[in-house]
Chain A
Amino acid sequence: MRESESCSFMSKFSHIYIEERAAAYPVAQHVLSRFPGSIRVMIRHYKDVFNRPHQDFRRQKASTKLILAVKQEPFLYPGPEVCEDFGNQNFYYTSPVLNCIYDCDYCYLQGLYPSANIVIFVNIEDFCKAVDRQLESGPLYLCPSYDTDLLALEGIVPYASRWIEFAGTRQGLRIELRTRSANYSAIADLNPVEQVILAWSLSPHEVARRYERLAPSLKARLTAIRAALQDGWQVRLCFEPLIKVHNWQQVYREFLDEVFSIIPAERVFDTNIGVFRMSKEQFKRISRLRSDTDVFAFPTVCREGGVVTYEDEKEIRGFFYQNLNRYLPEEKIYG
């Protein structure tokens, strides 16, 4: 942002706000040990900081703070209709962390919460207990990297590995860990777990470079995926959101060629396609927040139900599907 030209921001996590009741948790101690130089501020409830009125999301993104808190019920939420359930029954998501260290121009989290700061809920055992309770009434498909990117945060709070280990000990539980990171090495020492799907969001180099600030390059992500596949993990590729760029047909065709020149298609667990879509309210809010990006430069329409997408959404999806279908059979393509 332009403001950075004229002032120097404090480094990321210069401050850690700690709920009094969270301080003694081992996870809190672990996070604090990672940032010995950060200023610690004790708080009564995370919402006293996270939900303050009049926070400036863009400026906060330049100097994001951490908040350590204890989450209370509910721990699990039913998966929203708009999200792909990949044919799984009982689709739930859970948010042990709120917000993300990356800064994608199109991210729906912008302005979803009143703050850009990252909340880590330290009572991970309570999340696991809630999953156990839910498992009593049948199998469960769970996304714990939903309002964040857990693998990207693994060096700060080891929740990706925690969920993997937990899933490995539970019958009927299937977990999707979605990421834009290239941080596979952080979990590479774990044995692959059948109940876990590592899901990588991928975009063409042109999109990642322009619109996925702070996230690793396509190449780095592909290298991580290849390593995960070699180690025997189930890997899902998420082509979502498909963002329109100039010459998009060529860009996306070449992108898929690149992806499958590095990743053996036959080893991919499954994939999904999602053309950029967003609720009208979200779209308005983000357009207002982000005058510094042209990510929404191509014409959009508001469809029935208040969903904003490209006017040629169907064409984009069709085109992408056909090209993906060159590498993968129909039954491995969702969305």
Chain B
Amino acid sequence: MIYIVTALPCEASPIVKKYDLKRDSACRHFPLYRGDDMFLIVSGVGKMASAIATAYLIAQNVKLDGAGGEEGLAIINIGVCGTLNQRYPIGTPLLIHKVIDHETGKQYFPDILIEHPFEEGSIETHNDVVRREDVLSGRVELQADLVDMEASGFFQAASRFLALHQIYVIKVVGDYLDVVDFDRQRVAQCVSGVMDALDGFIKQVEGLCRVEGDVLTQDERLQLERVKESLRLTVTQSHQLMDMARRYKLRTGRPLPDLSEFIQTRVKVKAEGRKAIERIRKLFLYE
């Protein structure tokens, strides 16, 4: 499950279109869109707004999400940003490896473990719009490659709930801190231009965050239940049996070995059960 947070509707619209997301009219607090494996929320501008929407999205939806719950999801903040560095052409997407909050000076580091198609960079989140002349005159000193107004709020909120490999910030260079008239279409174009790369990245992230369901099949669970019964295993022994079976499957990748002889055995005294479980242990360890 992928959660996406954008600040503006024009940043959201290419994503909504690409994944055919539907507006959830039941959500009164934010524009919220949903698809099969995706939620998208439009937070509004600013780090506080981003943090609130991020926390809302995670807290509201984690419990609805069957596949692995909190562990199986990832959250991505996507949007445009500014930079003074002309090295980045307009429309360049960057995956952020360091987020600096300008006002508090705090730094945050996502965990980048998977291959990705983006250049990487750092971003500094400001409360106010940063203009070129502020930087050139020395009124504002920049510590990072990029400037935005959301990333630090998003990251702080998301990392309250999720592990670091589940949180990503992707920013597309939209301007050189020289915006005079805000142009929604241009912003939407910037995000549209990275949709293919984003799509590939999302697949990678899903792979990374996938939580496997129970490795035992229903048949195998049934078989083990029968073994427990016929061997009259204690609660502890039953736990051990299930644990051994799961580890066997994880280690070997094969179906469980044949346990029918244990199902046919009817033990009368506990000691026999103990002996049988030792034999099963050997079977699971060395089959």
Contacts and interface: CB of A to CB of B under 8 A. Distances in A.
Contacts of A246: 282, 285-286
B20 to A, nearest CB: 23
Contacts of A42: 98
Interface in B90-119: 97-98, 107, 109, 111-115
Interface stretch (B32-40, B217-225, B244-252): B244-252
Given A56-B163, A294-B284, A10 B115 contact: yes
Interface residues of A, number: 35
Contact of B210 (A6, A10, A52, A297): A6
B114 A55 contact: no
B159 A53 contact: yes
Contacts of A72: none
Nearest to B107: A48
Interface stretch (A22-30, A57-65, A159-167, A319-327): A57-65
Contacts of A8: 114-115, 204
Contacts of B98: 41-43
A292 B247 CA distance: 6
A7 B97 contact: no
A3 B162 CA distance: 17
Contacts of A60: 111, 113, 165
B52 interface: no
Nearest to B252: A294
B23 interface: no
A293 B207 CA distance: 21
Contacts of A133: none
A328 to B, nearest CB: 30
Nearest to A5: B207
Interface string A73-89: 00000000000000000
A211 to B, nearest CB: 11
B163 A292 contact: no
A49 interface: yes
A198 to B, nearest CB: 33
B208 A7 contact: yes
B120 interface: yes
Contacts of A44: 107
A48 B159 CA distance: 14
Interface string A288-300: 0001111001100
Interface of B: 97-98, 107, 109, 111-115, 120, 122, 159, 162-165, 204-208, 210, 212, 244, 246-248, 250-251, 281-282, 284-286
Interface of A: 2-3, 5-10, 14-15, 17, 39, 41-44, 48-49, 52-56, 59-60, 62-63, 245-246, 291-294, 297-298
